[in-house]
Structure 1
Amino acid sequence: MKNRFFWGSIISLIFGTAIYLLLRTSSLKVFGWLEIVNINFLNSDIRKFSIDYLEILPNWFLYSLPDGLWIFSYVCLMMYIWNFKINAHSFFWISIIPFIAIFSEFGQAIYLISGTFDFCDILFYILGFNIPFLLLFNNKHDKLLKIMSKNLKTIASIGAFAFFAFIAFGSSDDKEKTSNKEQITTENATESTNTISNEKKWTTVYSFSGNGLKKSPTFELTGNEARIKYSYKADGNVGMGMFAVYVVDEGEDIMKTGGFPEVMTQAENEESESTIQKSEGKYYLNINASGSWTVSIEELQ
């Protein structure tokens, strides 16, 4: 029985915490604590995946069940610490957090404590407090071993109390408690928008227009992914043309060093794009054409 209570405490604590981390509003203090240690859980894939199912989950699952699970976890752990002996001293430590939780909920009802009163919260507090006692009395025939002195049990109880108080504080909201799922959904949409806004976009580095053979002024590339976008129209409507674009290192002359064009076509008209592979540095365009053209160099920035 002892092991069942211990592992029941651990599993219910993990489950309740998971609901908060995966499905609750980003204004919870615990998310700020995680950011201090460089854990950005709000933008994690598992949280985004979970929020997609937010609308099908009932409010009691999102807002009341975690509290009941934590109370259950606390009571089971305290019973384990006190070797399942119920007396005045052990009952004080077993019941202190459940009683604080229940009375704080009533305090919210009469506006003595900030927050929103919810009868469902009280129901889950009571269930979380009473179920371990029902399980204990159902197994009262089991022989219990004395493994800790009263002083050690008291010290362990203080530690468990502090730990669960810390969890309760971390799960509190910087804003007033709300059961509005739209708030969480909106936050998720905002996070997704911010992620999209941080993605790289194609940016025009240089644009050059003209007719026939021309060289451009120099421009700079940063070494990011780059491309040429161009449009070309041959003169004379003869059914064919000639258009070639060279991206040349500053200071070089393809008439002397030679080179391969990044774009070459003999079509009469063409509008397209082509990827170029260039390292960071300064370049210029050398255009050889039999008609009018516009060339733009873009980088992913």
Structure 2
Amino acid sequence: MKKFFCLFSVLALLIGSCSDNDGTSSDSGFNINGTKLKRAILNSNAASGAITYDYFYNGNRLARIVSSDMSYFKYTYTDELITKIEFFKNNVLKNIDFLEYNNDNKLITRKQIRGNTGYKVVYTHNNDGTISIFGYTGDSVNQNTPTDLNKKVFFVNGLVSKIESYSIIDGSLETLFTNYTHDTANTPTSLILGYDKLTYYDQGNFQNVHNLTSITYSSTVNDIVDVDEIVNVYNADNFLSKATAVDLEDNNGPPLIFEYFYE
């Protein structure tokens, strides 16, 4: 379940309520029905309570996602592609992501700068339709030192169906398999311009055109590690309005509940 929470955190990319000071839309009409995502709420039954994420736009371009914890992401576009994402905490810039694409508008490089430290993720689009992902670190100018990030993403009908994560443990290669199933309805962010290019942006599967219905974790050294089941509810426009994620391997664990509101 903790892995699923991480996936949602990447999906949400953080947002709460903020003033309209840069020309973005900030009207407060939140509805269950509709197609333009305005608000997402995560309730994990934790002591900290629910977290609210509000979405602000310039037309159909995402401008900001602001969280109720006073952190937010700011988006910059080049034509129809998201090319820069800035993360702020208490109005202080913490890091910047720069995104590069090939001539087919496929993401090939993500560079994140945090002060004097830089991180780079390289996405290689293989001839068999898979994507290999490798990580590097360094300073704010050059990132050439390999990290332990080593993954391969598999697709079925354009959806992320499996991610294999490779690591060396006690001198032996271990592979973690993460398998996904999906419904046929629309995701809350499916109409945000450029968001579909970020399917494999960070932890893997957070932006497909359809919604997750299960996540299964296994590895080459253990049996099933974890199984998360997601029960979805949809609005009149066939967009996700509520998702309840349950860890089937942890019967006593509280579910994660996500609610979505539109205009």
Interval of TM-score (by shorter of Structure 1 and Structure 2):
under 0.3
Structure with the largest fraction of helix: 1
Larger Cα-atom Rg: 1
TM-score by length of 1: 0.22
Q: TM-score, normalised by structure 2?
A: 0.24
